[in-house]
Chain A
Amino acid sequence: MVIKKKYPTFPKGGVHPTAFKDYTANLPVENLPHPHRVCLFLKQHVGAACRVSIPKRKDREPDEALLLGRNPGRIYQKLVTKKDRVRAGDMIGTQDRGLGATLHASICGFVQGVADGLHPMMGKSPAIVITHDPEETPAQYTREDWYSLPRQTLLDRIRLAGIVGLGGAGFPAHAKLDVSPEITLDTLILNGAECEPYLTCDHRIMVENAHEVVEGAKIILRILGIQDCFIGIEANKPEAIESLQKVIDDQSDKNRFRISIKSLAVKYPQGSADQIIQSVTGRVRPSGKRSSSIGVMVQNVYTAKTIYDAVVLNKPFYERVITVSGKGIARPANILVPIGAHLSDIVTWLGGATPDLAKIVVGGPMMGYAVSSLDVPITKTTSGILFLTHDEINTEAHGPCIRCGFCLDACPMGLEPNQVGIWVEAGRGAETAPFGLMDDCFECGSCAFVCPAKRPLVQFIRLARIQIREAEKKKEKQK
């Protein structure tokens, strides 16, 4: 008899979808040949959209391109204008005030201007379109020792590289790392759970770029001024655990940074911030507060790798690894794509879709967005594209709630999705605030996953949120 080892996990809720990671888990990352056109959204992150121009001011030299050490002569009032030739890594959008992230050209080519692109989540959104120049000169990046750099330089490099949290939300990394001095953190958690089925891009990063991930973790620890880091990985990725453990064992500065790996139980949503904090440290974030209030910061493993690239190589974040998987694609793959590449380019490279393709999902199957067209570009937070066939998805019509209570057992936040669904169907979604969906629900989809009546509970919750907000606005107006 095999004795199952008990791995730490979060106690409340969670589901066990089939992982389907075998399609791509063992495929090394390959490169997508440069597409003839990319479409870079001005808003791919939490916060304000990028600005395409720098205000010309006498009192201050725009130092951003200089800081990156690239193209020192190319400073325009407008960062780029139509027909400008850009190289991969050139900054084409800036963040000057408030929350935001910078944007870089992802291929070498000519700027065609700003046009509306099809955003996988937000409908139409303005984007910079660049067409490929075949006479490209590949960018060269040289290693630099980061140990001697001051904290502010590290932060600046991260900011100018346009790095956002790659776990899904896309919160600008420099803003998250620049914690105010009043807040005391003690632990960094690198999130390598990758609990979404099908997706293996974080897995491949941990296997192939273990050194960069660990170094990135050290840079983050240095910026935060703390020493303890746990890398939380679901136990179904022994290869990733092994390769990271090897790097950690070989470190020369073990005394300065205490990095260790925590194997976690395989349970969705293990990779959610609240859940992984509880699994790794046992701490629970109070409702309505940030995780920093309990002394923890969570960063994705891939974010750590891009931070390494930005700091050590001075390489902006303009390309990323995504997983292309599902039964509906001729050849599943882990593939390095320039940000802004269209799904159509990727599908063509991978041999096309199969005839029984039914649904294309950008992101994971639990939280990703279904798209209706291949004319959708990759964004900074796209972790995968799934081509799903009819037997992989469920298209059954939903029935009435039979009050089985499965969703209550599945909800990791202890909410009542069943009630929200019933109230929304009764046309009273605005009254569902007491069920806690505004603060706590992060739309992990566990409730809808287990629902035997196949009720679209996440959809009901989103509707309820809209109706609650509308009702609040109305109330304020009446005052």
Chain B
Amino acid sequence: MTQTDLIVSVSPHIRQTVTTEAIMWTVVASLMPPLILSVHIFGFQTLIITLVSVAACVATEAISQRLLGRPIRIRDGSAVITGLLLAYVIPPGAPFWMPITGAIMSIFVTKILMGGLGFNIFNPALIGRAFLVATYPVAMTTAWLIPIRDAAIFTHMGRNVDAISAATPLYVLKHEGMAALIDKFGPLKTIYRDFFIGLQPGCIGETSALLILMGGIYLIYKHYITWHIPVSVIASIALLTWIFGGDALFTGNPVLAILSGGVMLGAFFMATDYVTSPIQKNGKLIFGFGIGALTVLIRLKGGYPEGICYAILLMNPLTPTLDQWLKPKRFSEGAK
């Protein structure tokens, strides 16, 4: 036996098998069902947009890490998640090249310049989206497609977006009211069912509460995320919409509020981003409630029909403060 090749390191010498890569790629996998649905109901261009977005994010990460002389860490999958999430918050009728500028903003400015994985203050994908809304406002707010239950690939492919664009339910609700919504999307019962499954105009990956819920619950089951942020976001949006969302107090429609727009995607996949959300459980609850409150405020009083993107971005910088305030309970604090 040779003694020269023995490894020496500080304890512990055994490690759990879960790795950063495993977590990231599991998140990627749990984000797949909404993509499949979007191809089914909006057509192949959603897949192209998503692929462009992911490729742009990974390329931006690799190039910027190379240029800054840092180790290239694209294999950890975090850029892939950003790419997916960025594509998921883009309307399906948008031009396919649009995510590229968003990706540069997301990865280079928001993440790499802040210090790379683990050090960014804002959610990269949402900064990318906010940037796209500012630079391509028309495409980002009007390029909606009507979901087609089958053969969307053939119906939507290659057609002029303007000809088939539709308004999102939140837009209709905000500017035309409940009657118009029922007029356009059918009776409430049908709306609930369709929206839950994902048959509604909206961004590529945000239409289906069911599929996002499945992915989110899988992540909770794997202990990769906890229930605190999704539940507090969804509960506070439902509660506040119910109280303030109607013509009189306590007449708003909480179910519609959480099934439409980006609430589900935001609550399960955006707000739970490890890096930009508080690490403590009580901090997570405060963070989630803040997102919910800001979302409802923007939806009801602001200029945009949807507000969760900005709500998360506004709560992100509070994360370090919440972590500073809320410390874990020390062992000895349990002493009687």
Q: Does any Cβ of B come within 8 Å of A35's Cβ? A: no
Known: A399-B73, A414-B330. A361 touches B119 (CB 8 A): no
Do B15 and A394 touch (CB < 8 A)? Answer: yes
- In the complex, which residues of chain A have a beta carbon less than 8 angstroms from the beta carbon of B76? 399
CB contact list, A273-319 vs B, under 8 A: 274, 278, 283-288, 294
Min C-beta distance of A288 to chain B, whole Å: 8
Do B20 and A394 touch (CB < 8 A)? Answer: no
Do B8 and A370 touch (CB < 8 A)? Answer: yes
Q: Does any Cβ of A come within 8 Å of B325's Cβ? A: no
- In the complex, which residues of chain A have a beta carbon less than 8 angstroms from the beta carbon of B336? 283-284
Task: Report the stretch among B52-60, B100-108, B207-215, B272-280 that lies at the interface.
Answer: B272-280
- In the complex, which residues of chain A have a beta carbon less than 8 angstroms from the beta carbon of B118? 400-403
Number of A-B residue pairs, CB cutoff 8 Å, is 164
Min C-beta distance of B22 to chain A, whole Å: 7
- In the complex, which residues of chain B have a beta carbon less than 8 angstroms from the beta carbon of A402? 20, 23, 78, 117-118, 274-275
Known: A285-B332, A403-B275, A416-B327. A353 touches B1 (CB 8 A): yes
Partner of B14, one of A411, A414, A449, A458: A449
Partner of B7, one of A11, A358, A408: A358
Q: Does any Cβ of A come within 8 Å of B134's Cβ? A: no
**Number of chain B interface residues as a range:** 35 or more
The number of chain A residues with a CB under 8 A from chain B is 71
Q: Does any Cβ of A come within 8 Å of B179's Cβ? A: no
Cα–Cα distance between A392 and B336 once the two chains are bound (Å): 41
Q: Does any Cβ of B come within 8 Å of A213's Cβ? A: no
Of all chain B residues, the one with the shortest Cβ separation from A355 is B1
Cα–Cα distance between A149 and B8 once the two chains are bound (Å): 48
Q: Does any Cβ of B come within 8 Å of A153's Cβ? A: no
Of all chain B residues, the one with the shortest Cβ separation from A354 is B1
Q: Does any Cβ of B come within 8 Å of A369's Cβ? A: yes
- In the complex, which residues of chain A have a beta carbon less than 8 angstroms from the beta carbon of B6? 357-360, 370-373
- A residues near B (Cβ < 8 Å) are 11-12, 15, 17, 197, 274, 278, 283-288, 294, 352-353, 355, 357-361, 363, 365-374, 386, 388, 392-396, 399-406, 408, 411-416, 418, 436, 440, 443, 445, 448-454, 456, 458-459, 462
29 A/B residue pairs, CB under 8 Å, sorted by A: A274-B331, A283-B336, A285-B335, A287-B331, A287-B332, A288-B332, A358-B7, A359-B7, A359-B13, A366-B13, A368-B11, A368-B13, A373-B3, A396-B19, A400-B119, A401-B118, A404-B23, A408-B280, A414-B328, A414-B331, A415-B328, A440-B330, A443-B11, A445-B11, A452-B18, A452-B22, A454-B15, A456-B9, A459-B10
The 6 lowest CB-CB distance pairs between A and B, nearest first, are A445-B12, A287-B332, A394-B15, A459-B10, A400-B118, A284-B335
